[in-house]
Amino acid sequence: MRIKTNLKNKPTNRQILKMNRISIKLAGITAAAMVIAMAPACSDDLYDAANPAANTRIVATIDNGVVSRSSVDPENYTSGDVGMLWDPNDSIGVFTSVSANVPFANESASSVKNTVFAGTLPSGETVTYAYYPYDRRNADASATALRGTLPAGQRWDASRSIEGDFKYGTPANVSNDGIRMSFTHLFALIRFEINAAGTPLNGQRLQSITVSSENRTLAGEFTADITRSPATATFTEASRDVTLRLLQQPELTSSVTRAYMSVAPTVKAGEKLHITLSTDRKDASFDVEATADFVANGILNFKLTLSEFADEAHGWTVSDRPALTSLAIRT
């Protein structure tokens, strides 16, 4: 069974991949969700001047439906869109025409939809580029060759933090709050929605999700050129699979289990992806085929009603995982 894709320019910028009753959607953020998630706020709402010594502040604005992926907003919007938050420990690296990789810290004391990053620059220098997350490895790097890591092993837990996100921005304008800067994502985000009813995995605890490609890089070490629009990434160490560990090990039932994974936007239409779900007792694997290119700065909604993949056409296999029954310590 193929994933049939219709690409239309809707007001929501949503690209929908339909597969009979199963769909994987490349979703943007609706206009309504943008208002909810990223509405401009006054300076008192944005930050509390946690670093009064800083002489420069950057207001992290998000345009064209792009959202921060620092962590997932726990609120479930009726529109079905994904809300995102900036976290207190977030920091960005800032470049000027003279200075490189200057750390700017988030001034908010809690996870918020809008925030300000503060730092100190030499007098007279003008901000040219910024990226997230700040990395000390880029102390000697230029904005054309920033080092970064898209992990092949990622985690998902109750903190709702997203691993493997990398975004970049350029200044838009200056307001009373600071320099407004728009950020764009270098990679794609997968949202899994898993329903295990009617399958051997029902009632078991989900430990991990693995997505694999036969010939496409999905993660690894990379360098990015954020002076280009759009920015480009070159992988120096590549992995063709990404495994997401679910630290809370939620129970799989007829209710939807959600989790999020960052991937490189390399998969092309017509290519196959192999998915493995590992529980505390079993491994289940199956294939899906994409009929649209994966794109940077997008959210891919993987609606996995497992009973609809449990057939020969999808290569469905289930195997028991070895159980640890005893442990002997030899001295």
Strand ranges in 145-239 using DSSP code E only, listed in sequence order: 146-150, 153-156, 167-174, 179-185, 188-195, 206-213, 219-225, 232-239
Q: Tell me how long the chain is.
A: 331
pLDDT for 31 equals 24
Q: Is the pLDDT of residue 47 over 90?
A: no
pLDDT for 44 equals 34
pLDDT for 320 equals 94
Lowest mean pLDDT among 55-64, 191-200, 263-272: 55-64
User: Rounded CA gap, 261 and 163, in Å?
Assistant: 7
One DSSP character per residue, 4-59 reads EEEE---TT--EEEEETTEEEEEE---HHHHHHHH----HHHH---S-TT-SEEEE
pLDDT for 198 equals 95
User: Rounded CA gap, 165 and 187, in Å?
Assistant: 7
pLDDT for 259 equals 94
- Read off the pLDDT of each residue in 229-233 and give the average, rounded to a whole number: 93
What is the percent of the chain with per-residue pLDDT over 90, rounded to a whole number?
52
User: Rounded CA gap, 301 and 25, in Å?
Assistant: 5
To which residue do tokens 């950057």 refer? 58
pLDDT for 10 equals 32
CA distances in angstroms from 312 to 63, 200, 238, 272, 279, listed in the order given: 44, 16, 31, 15, 21
pLDDT band of 327, cuts 50, 70, 90: low
pLDDT for 155 equals 95
